[in-house]
Each structure stands twice: as structure tokens, then as C-alpha cells.
Amino acid sequence: MRRTSAMRTGLSALLLLGTWAAASALPASAAEPPARPAAAPASPELLSAMQRDLGLSKSRAEARLAAEKTATAVEREAKRAAGSSYGGSWFDAASGKLTVAVTPGADTEAVRATGATIRLVKHSAARLDAAKARIDALSAPAGVSSWYVDPKANEVVVSVVAARQDDNDVQGFLARARETGPVTVKQTAEAPQTFAAGTVGGDPYYTGNVRCSIGFSVQGGFVTAGHCGGAGAAVYGWDRSYIGNFQGSSFPDNDYAWVNVGSGWWTVPVVLGWGTIPDQLVRGSAEAPVGSSICRSGSTTHWRCGAVLAKNETVNYSQGAVHQMTKTSVCAEGGDSGGSFISGDQAQGVTSGGWGNCSSGGETWYQPVNEILNRYGLRLHTA
């Protein structure tokens, strides 16, 4: 990319915007199955960030990274062994084990042989996914925050803003949602919002008067959040030089986009560590289980860590619902939109939105990266 020695040095100078996350272990499209994750990085800086944001000691952070690497591989094998009896799975940080839910009739010995712990449940993942899909077809009022399948509870969870729970339109939505299958209701403090921001200084990309963050390097460009710009919109880098244009963009319904790169800019398979940790190489896109630790890089709040809370969640922004999102306990703020979520050295997704901030805490959702690559036929740039 373009740079001046006064403003960028070293590897960080190669970044298009300042946030990159990991991608698939092979430089191939997301249509190909992700490779097993490479050894999880355990630099002193990464361990320090996990200690800060997850409240872990150094030894516990090291042990967790190793256990999560194993759980990612086990999850894929256990799901195959469970077949139609598969009810979902989650990583338990306390035990360091992956738990796999199965319905009666499952070949429990085959599932257990993968190394997973088994829990017997009533509903299969397919049954719960079907119930969620029927809720997706409903029109949600502003007081409904999101909904997702919770494998641990073996139910579909509908989150509502606490102050709006008694609204007639919210109660009507919940009544229709309960007709779709096993549904439970939880409260959230605030409604979700996207994390784009007006023009400010930093290490951003700009489109119009909006600042967002780059997600992942792909062959010929980068992926980011769809709400940051519409197809055809011009994109400018941190130094205000022209990068390229949005070649595809979807928001709402989805929240993803990709931008072509040219005019002296280039791509690198790197996530910016912002001095908190060394810049991270992208080596794969193996999907981390629920419960895994995960970190985010963005142009406003830089490097932040947390855990994966839920997958395939529908988020009800004021602009409309966005589907197939992953929820995390990582905080974010305006300008972080589009930035990278990474687990170990494996890409997970691009920042979409959330609630709260990095002073008081909150939750943030991302759009999974493999879905974006499949949608646009892109090839991930990996180290």
C-alpha cells in the first residue's frame, strides 16, 4: 500500500487499514473445507492481552489456547460421527473440553471416541435451526434485539431490550416466536447498533464521511462490513489516497462487502496488533467452537479479546435484521466496523455491531468470514 516513512513503518505499513484476521490454512476459497488450525500463537503480548481481557493467568491462557486448538478439530469429527442426532456443541473453558449434544439414538460411542464429552438433549440442531428459520421470517419490532440457537440450553433464545419487553409489539412477536418451537426469552441492556463512525484520525479506511476497519486480505482486495459502503463507492486509505471501490456489498440481511485494491496498494495476510501484540499472520479459517477465546482488531479500540457466545444469531438493527451472525463478549466502538475477529491464527469474521463500549463492556457480533468468501467467490490471502 502507499505509505510515508513518517506515518508507517515495518509490517504495519503494509496493512490496508489496520485490521486483518486469519483465513484458511490453504490459500483457497471458503468453499473448500478449512484445514486444521496451525499451532496457536502464544507470544507474551497475546498472553498478556488474554490475561487483561479474560482474567486469566499466563499458564491458564497457554492451556486454554492449546485446548481450544484441540476442540476445534474435535468438533468437526464429532459432528460427523453424530450425524442427524447432532444437537450442537460448545467449548467449556473450565474443563478445557468440547461438549457435544446428541439426541436419543445417537451412536454415543462413536462420538465419544472423537474426544468429546456427550450431553443427551431432546432437540437436534436441525430441529432448532428450523425453528430459528421460521422466526427469521417474522418481522421483528425495535424492542427485539436478536435471536439464536443456544446448544447448551437446547432452545432458541430470543433477546429483548429490558425496557421494551412489555411493549405490545414485542409481546406479539414473542407469542409468534414460541409457536415455532422451543423458545426462551432473555433480556439485554441495550439495542444493537453498527460500529461505523464519522471521519476521525487514526488508521482507517474512509468512504464518504464514514470510517471503518479492514477485515481480511483476499486475492485482489479485502473483505469488510457491508454497512460501511454500497457497491461502487470509492474507498480511501488511512493516508487519504485512493484504494479502490466496493465491488459487492450487502446490508441488511447480511453485513459483508469486499473492496478491490489497486493504485499502489497491496494486500498482506496480517492482523494488526496495534502494539498490544505483534502483528499476527493469517494461517487459516477453521471455525472456533462456542466458548472459545477470540480477539478483535479495529481502528478505534485496537486489540480486544473475549469469548464466542453464540452462532447463527439474527441481529435486529434499526436498519433491518442481519442473519447468521456470531456473538462475542468482545467490546467494540464506532469505527471498529469491518475489522477482523481472529481465534489463535484462524480467521473468524468481520465486525458488524453490538452494544456497549470498551469502558463499560458489552457484546459484539461478527459476520463469519467463510460465508463472505463463498458469497463472492474470493480466495483468502494466507501466510
d(CA 94, CA 264): 48
Task: Please say whether the dihedral angle defined by the alpha carbons of residues 331, 329, 296 and 61, taken in this order, is positive or negative.
Answer: positive
d(CA 64, CA 98): 12
pLDDT lower than 70: segments of the chain: 1-42, 196-203
What local confidence, expressed as pLDDT, does residue 27 receive? 23
d(CA 2, CA 264): 6
Taking each helix axis from N to C end, the angle separating 44-54 and 58-82, rounded to the nearest 10 degrees, works out to 80
Query: Please, are residues 168 and 350 in contact by the beta-carbon 8 Å criterion?
Result: no
Asked about 381 being catalytic, the answer comes back as: no
Question: Which residue from 19, 15, 31, 42 is spatially nearest to 345, judged by alpha carbons?
Answer: 42
Query: Please, are residues 319 and 196 in contact by the beta-carbon 8 Å criterion?
Result: no
What local confidence, expressed as pLDDT, does residue 196 receive? 65
Helix (H) or strand (E) holding 151: none
* Catalytic residue selected from 53, 150, 203, 255: 255
Query: Please, are residues 353 and 337 in contact by the beta-carbon 8 Å criterion?
Result: yes
Strands 197-198 and 210-212: antiparallel
* Catalytic residue selected from 123, 227, 302, 381: 227
C-alpha cell at 277: 501484540
Asked about 255 being catalytic, the answer comes back as: yes
Taking the mean position of all CA atoms in its chain, how far away is CA 122?
28
What local confidence, expressed as pLDDT, does residue 45 receive? 80
d(CA 130, CA 371): 19
Query: Please, are residues 322 and 255 in contact by the beta-carbon 8 Å criterion?
Result: yes
Question: Which residue from 375, 295, 368, 372 is spatially nearest to 336, judged by alpha carbons?
Answer: 295
For 89-129, the three-class secondary structure string (H helix, E strand, C coil) is: EEEECCCCEEEEEECCCCCHHHHHCCCCEEEECCCCHHHHH
d(CA 49, CA 11): 20
Q: What is the pTM of this model?
A: 0.79
Helix (H) or strand (E) holding 171: helix 168-178
Q: Is omega for the bond preceding 182 within 30 degrees of 0, making it cis? A: no
Question: Which residue do the cell numbers 441488511 mark?
Answer: 252
* Catalytic residue selected from 159, 337, 340, 352: 337
Asked about 48 being catalytic, the answer comes back as: no
d(CA 186, CA 189): 10
C-alpha cell at 279: 502483528
